[in-house]
Amino acid sequence: MSFVEYGDMIKDGDTAIVFLGHESMFPVKVQHGSVTQTKYGVIRHSTDLIGKKYGSKVTCSKGGWVFILHPTPELWTMNLPHRTQILYSTDISIITMMLELKPGSIVCESGTGSGSLSHALIRTVAPTGHLYTVEFHQQRAQKAREEFREHGVEHLVTVTNQDVCKNGFGVSHIADAVFLDIPSPWEAIGHAKSALKAEGGRICSFSPCIEQVQRTCLAMEEYGFTEINTLEILLRVYNVRTISLQIPDLGKAAEDNSSTGFDSSNPSNQGSPCANLQQGTVQFKSGVPLREMVGHTGYLTFATKS
């Protein structure tokens, strides 16, 4: 099993996603002899998972069923254990596009955190690219190494435990792109410039506060970066559902009903279009925004090394 190469069969040691519904799923480490409890009953790894195909429908001990999905960076973002605040797919998608990443790209990242963006970057640059990720916190760096090993991507990533603001990324003039998600990104701009290739490399800084953005932009200008721009991604989800709207009374319906002898009190006419007009409402499908939505996550500042 690898997050960048699809495997058909579930094997011992794999990380799989147990899918109960769109709003309910979780990861599980497949191990011979282990069991996993769900609200639909027990899943026995030896008999219910190992040797089955990814995407299979598995019946639990209480008679309910779940799907077992192959892990992807998107599914991992939704289910990973949170060691820090993470980036979600809305921001990740624009980051990978604006940094112009592709298979074979070399990327530097700080900090690693929970590895949400890291998995997406690895999948984007595979199979010949590489990710150099720096994490200040020693335990988080070690846990990230273990996860990359378990997920079959350790050959595509190098994890370093150090302070990027003082010691940089550990590489020079090879990176196609640099991503910063740290409290004081302006202190790492010089190291980012040193890590980027001679010219044309791209940089992105993620910051939740506009004051951080201001200081970062000033530092980028000081180090000669160009095409500096900041944006914010807000996701607005719509539900498609049936709604009722009142029909304006223009006087035409009443005249037509009287001329045709329409009787609204007759039960046989209650389901007709004329009955709906007489009642003054019409139903149709429409897109309605959610009452609550995810608001501000952070500002993304992009620039190019000239």
From the annotation, which residues make up the binding site for S-adenosyl-L-methionine?
114-117, 135, 181
DSSP symbol at 139 = H
Task: Output the CA angle 130-80-301, nearest 5 degrees.
Answer: 55
Q: How far apart are CA 39 and CA 231, in angstroms?
A: 42
Beta strands 130-135; 106-110: pairing state: parallel
Nearest C-alpha neighbor of 111 from the set 182, 175, 194: 182
Burial tier of 20 (Cβ tally within 10 Å: 0-12, 13-18, 19+): middle
**CA–CA distance, 169 with 195 (Å, rounded to integer):** 7
Nearest of 193, 195, 196, 164 to residue 181 by alpha carbon:
164
What is the per-residue DSSP string for 197-239? -SSS-EEEEEESSHHHHHHHHHHHHHTTEEEEEEE------EE
Q: Exposed, middle or buried by CB within 10 Å (0-12, 13-18, 19+), for 80?
A: middle
Would you list which residues are annotated within the binding site?
Answer: 114-117, 135, 181
